[in-house]
Amino acid sequence: MSQQTIINAQGLDLTFQTNDGPVHALKDVNLEINKGDFVSFIGPSGCGKTTFLRCMAGLETPTAGTLTVNGMTPEEARKARAYGYVFQAAGLYPWRTIGGNIRLPLEIMGFSKGDQAARVERVLELVDLAGFENKFPWQLSGGMQQRASIARALAFDADILLMDEPFGALDEIVRDHLNEQLLQLWARTEKTIGFVTHSIPEAVYLSTKIVVMSPRPGRITDVIESPLPKERPLDIRDSAEFIEIAHRVRDGLRAGHLDG
What track of x and - describes contact with another protein for positions 74 through 93 (by CB under 8 A)?
----xx-x-xxx-xxx-x-x
Of 208-237, which residues contact another protein (CB under 8 A)? none
Give the Cα separation of 45 and 211 in Å (integer): 14
> Measured from the CB of residue 79, what is the shortest distance to another protein in angstroms?
5
Strands (E), the chain: 5-18, 21-34, 38-42, 64-69, 83-86, 160-164, 192-197, 209-214, 219-225
Q: Does 146 bind another protein (CB under 8 A)?
A: no
Q: 85, 89, 87: which is closest to 77 by C-alpha?
A: 85
3-state secondary structure of 238: helix
**Alpha carbon 249 to its chain's center:** 18
Options 1, 18, 94, 188; binder of another protein; rule CB under 8 A: 94
The interface region with another protein, picked from 22-30, 134-142, 211-219, 245-253 by CB under 8 A, is 134-142
Q: State the sign of the Cα–Cα–Cα–Cα dihedral 185, 186, 189, 192.
A: positive
Q: Does 97 bind another protein (CB under 8 A)?
A: yes
Q: Does 112 bind another protein (CB under 8 A)?
A: no
User: Toward another protein, which CB reaches closer, 16 or 93?
Assistant: 93
Q: Contact positions toward another protein, by CB under 8 A?
A: 57-59, 78-79, 81, 83-85, 87-89, 91, 93-97, 104-105, 107-109, 136-138
